Structure 1
Amino acid sequence: METQSPLSIQQTLQEHEVPPKPFKKSFVTSLMEAATLRSSSFKEDTYFVSHLNSSEKKALQELKEKLSISHESASMWGIPLLGGDERADVILLKFLRARDFRVADSFTMLDKSLAWRKEFKAEDIVEEELGFKELEGIVAYMNGYDREGHPVCYNAYGVFKDKQMYDRIFGDEEKLKRFLKWRVQVLERGIKLLHFKPGGVNSLIQVTDLKDMPKSELRVASKQILSLFQDNYPEMVARKIFINVPWYFSMVYSMFSPFLTQRTKSKFVIAKEGNVAETLYKFIRPENVPVQYGGLSRTGDLQNGPPKPASEFTVKGGENVKLEIDGIEGGSSITWEIVVGGWDVEYSAEFVPSEEGSYTIAIEKGKRIIAAAAATGDHQEVVECSFTAKEAGKIVLSIDNTGSSRKKKKKKKVAAYRYFVRKPISSCGVMD
């Protein structure tokens, strides 16, 4: 099978532009924009000791000296914290950074974390069977990497709006403890993917879906998860992306805010409902974004190795984008996938033969795919189609956003597609 890069993208813009009316920002909108602006202030540490200033180098040395008195053989994630391993410096610098290089505070945090990991048996939890199969790939899961190579952890608690599900998982204190252990297991699996190396990938990206999250019911669990992660996994998250942020986000934010450091808040990125794919594409390539969030990644795809790259494009308001898969030989089989963030566009596909006088073949007749249908599962979030060409030609995919209402037509949509071409095979089994 041969993967080809798209050869041309032709865009036809129909002129229906109407100047947008001015609007007043709501309190929640202003809050979300402020949180998004804060994200630009965060700068990830490189963990090169040579990049530290003199006081930071001194703090690192003092922390090691304190550690050698009471924890000479201590280790984390299989890495001895003393002995000169540069990976250990990465871990120690995380604790120092979390406490602004105050050695006493950093040591206290590290000391408590080592005790917690021993009591919790965190080093062995990755392989433990905890009995949460129904939550895997739904509530908390690792899926692919961002554009800079950080592993991405997705969190979605909307399933717990179902009371029976909630009671089954959080019905009593013992169940809550078991859930917290499972949530730590997911995080530990993600940490296994980190380099712990100066200049390497030393932190995760965390995406939290707030859609349908039962805020009051999960208050206790949320606070415990947050406290546990902040106390024992300092500087393990490079960016926190909140998606499908509902109108009550201000209340949720107020609830969490007292437990968050200013440095943690500076990592926040906020995406309200309807703006998920556009936000995620800024940080994660579409082939790594789950299908339910406007990407091309399906559950289990990554078990077969790295995903096939996709090409990104945008569909502006009132625009009809045409994508051409050109140079197709007769007898070739073509498979393509296409996704539009938020959909609510008309999609069609046709085969155009190279030979004059041949007829164009409608592969997919024009049909409107609306966002509501995607959300309820009435159709696949990703359109996937195959076609075998009997003669040479090209396939033209059309994404038409000219039929939307005037308001929706102003909304730019991000989209992605990829395709694979299997060329005809000769009778002796050798590919032409």
Structure 2
Amino acid sequence: MTVDVKSEETQVAEEAMIPREEEEQAPIDKKKTEAEEQEENAGGVPGGSPLPSVVEKCSSFKEESNFTSDLKASERKALSELKSKLEEAILGKNLFRKEVGEEEGGEGEDGEISLWGVPLLSTKGSTDNGGADVVLLKFLRARDFKVADAFEMLKRSLQWRKDSKMDAILGEEVAVELEPAAYMDGADREGHPVCYNIYGVFGDEEMYQRTFGSEEKKERFLRWRVQVMEKGIGKLDLRPGGVSSLLQINDLRNSPGPTKKDLRAATKQAVNLLQDNYPELVARNIFINVPFWYYAIHSLLWPFLTQRTKSKFVFARPARVTETLLKYIPAEQIPFRYGGFKRENDLEFSTQDGAVSEVSVKPGTTETIEIPMEEVGSTVVWDFTVLGWEVNYKEEFVPANEGSYTIIVQKRKKMGAHESPLRNTFLNGERGKVMLTVENVSGKKKRALYRYKIKKCSSSD
């Protein structure tokens, strides 16, 4: 976390075990209310069905520009000074700590210095394209553009990477059994790669002991978590204008409580490693399925956080998970387990199959989504969900020929609040339309999300 002299990377996933105050939920409630008011005033014919629309893009954390032309004069000056200090240290072979027995001014290992694959010192014929500026700006921003502090932070980080052999970590099999606890999956609305951190994995006592049962195991956990971060960085574009930070999703469902001291100690160690060596690499940290105890305990670090750091935190109780994630991640990129449409090894939909549409259903009203099927012998497949459900729902095929019978695809059913997204298919024997009908019997407005794809019959059929 960003405390006065620390970078803002305490916002990494490990912070999930350091509770925060509930007041940080308030901005989410306010945004939701504003969004609902906008939807109430949106198009649609009075007394008729609302016009379906593509789910609106909600901005994630707005990253500062990495183009030098967009920097303030003082920031450009700081960047120039940092580059000069770095160049002087590299050329003078003073960047790294002298090893025992190494003569002063010896050759050392200050050759071509790179960080996250980006050369930090431009050389003749270099094709860096501003990558070094992007990297150096992260250290400067982490230290409020104080050049001396940023330079010391950079030096310590490079020394740590050398001592810990970080450049080889991606080729290691550190802890395969921990892979379900943190993994990269998809991207948010602005292209940030998304890292999911599943703390419920450590709720299993056997897994807990295998991970934190000894100092050696804790050290392995730390190296594994750093490896996850390195994998995420490999998906970034560290050039001006590129996506240069991650989105973290921290799932606290079934996570061990605050009495698990070994987990808390290892978590704090991971936080320190990540904040010291990976500055400004998290755009936003979203905590979902937040338990009551998480709000009940106040963190000692919280009062020291800057407002900018606090603004990157988002919290969601279990009932608000899908709704919260939708503000930052498209429905087609949200995993099925969190109420989205993304399924593992999906054979029906791909990321190129178009955006998800949304319809608002007011309390006490019924809305119908129509999927036209003009070609006989076609197959339509659709995904459908209602946030919070608590509605009556049915699916049917209505033929274009008034003399034909309506076919019930799914009979009318009362859907509970915790229903998962639905997927269904229908093969038509005549022209007509599939109709998805939602009857909102609750006292709250509902958001229905859907997408569909029609597969036409082949000529050989």
Taking structure 2 as the reference length, the TM-score comes to: 0.77
What is the match of residue 115 of structure 2? 76
> Which amino acid is the alignment partner of residue 161 of structure 2?
R
> What is the match of residue 56 of structure 1?
75
Change in 2 beyond 3 A, CA 1:335/1:189: same
RMSD: 2.7
Please list the CA deviations of residues 15-34 of structure 1 after superposition, one character each: whole Å capped at 9, or x if unmatched: xxxxxxxxxxxx96544215
Alignment correspondent of 2:416: 370
SS at match of 1:248: helix
**After superposition, what is the alpha-carbon deviation per residue over 1:126-176, rounded to whole angstroms, capped at 9, x for unaligned?**
23222424x43x421111111111111111201222212211222212112
Match of residue 113 from structure 1 = 157
Matched, 1:321 2:367: yes
Conservation of the 8 A alpha-carbon contact between 1:314 and 1:415: yes
Residue 259 of structure 1 deviates from its aligned partner by: 7.3
Alignment CA distance shift 1:229-1:305 (3 Å): farther
Deviations along 1:401-431, whole A, 9 cap, x unmatched? 31x4xxxx32x4444222121112224x7xx
Which blocks of at least 5 consecutive residues in structure 2 are unaligned?
A: 1-19, 32-57, 96-109
Shift of 1:260: 4.7
Where 1:385 maps in the other structure, the secondary structure is strand
In 1, distance between residues paired with 2:86 and 2:60? 32
Gaps of 5+ in 1: 1-26, 375-380
1:101 equivalent to 2:153? Answer no
Q: Deviations over 1:302-361 (max 9, x none)?
A: 9x9635332233444434331110133221111112223333333321000001110000
Please give the residue correspondences for 1:294-313 in structure 2 after superposition, counting only pairs within 5 Å. 294-301=339-346, 306=351, 308-309=353-354, 310-313=356-359
> Sequence identity, in percent?
52
Distance 1:129 1:328, change over 3 A: farther
Alignment-derived partner of residue 269 in structure 1 = 314
Residue matched to 2:452: 419
Check whether the contact 1:295–1:416 (CA below 8 A) recurs between aligned residues. no
Partner residue of 1:244 out of 289, 293, 311: 289
Distance 1:221 1:367, change over 3 A: farther
Does 1:278 find its partner at 2:311?
no
Which amino acid is 1:212 matched to?
A: N
Distance across 2 between alignment mates of 1:258 and 1:222 = 19
CA distance in 2, matches of 1:204, 1:41: 11
Indicate conservation of the 8 Å contact 1:60/1:96, yes or no.
Answer: yes
Say whether residues 1:215 and 2:257 are aligned partners. yes
- Of the three residues 287, 290, 310, the one matched with 2:335 is 290
Between the aligned partners of 2:294 and 2:376, the Cα distance in structure 1 is 55
CA separation of 1:212 and 1:93: change in aligned 2, threshold 3 A: same
| SS of equivalent to 2:197 | strand
In the comparison of the two structures, how many residue pairs are matched?
Answer: 386
TM-score (norm 1): 0.82
| Residue identity opposite 1:187 in structure 2 | M
1:50 Cα deviation (Å)?
1.3
Looking at structure 2, the residues matched to 37 and 105 of structure 1 have their Cα atoms a distance apart, in angstroms, of: 38
User: Which residue of structure 1 aligns with residue 100 of structure 2?
Assistant: none
1:15-70: per-residue Cα shift (whole Å, max 9, x none)? xxxxxxxxxxxx96544215888999964211111112222122112212222213
Cα distance between partner residues in 1 of 2:83 and 2:311: 29
Tell me what 1:164 maps to. 206
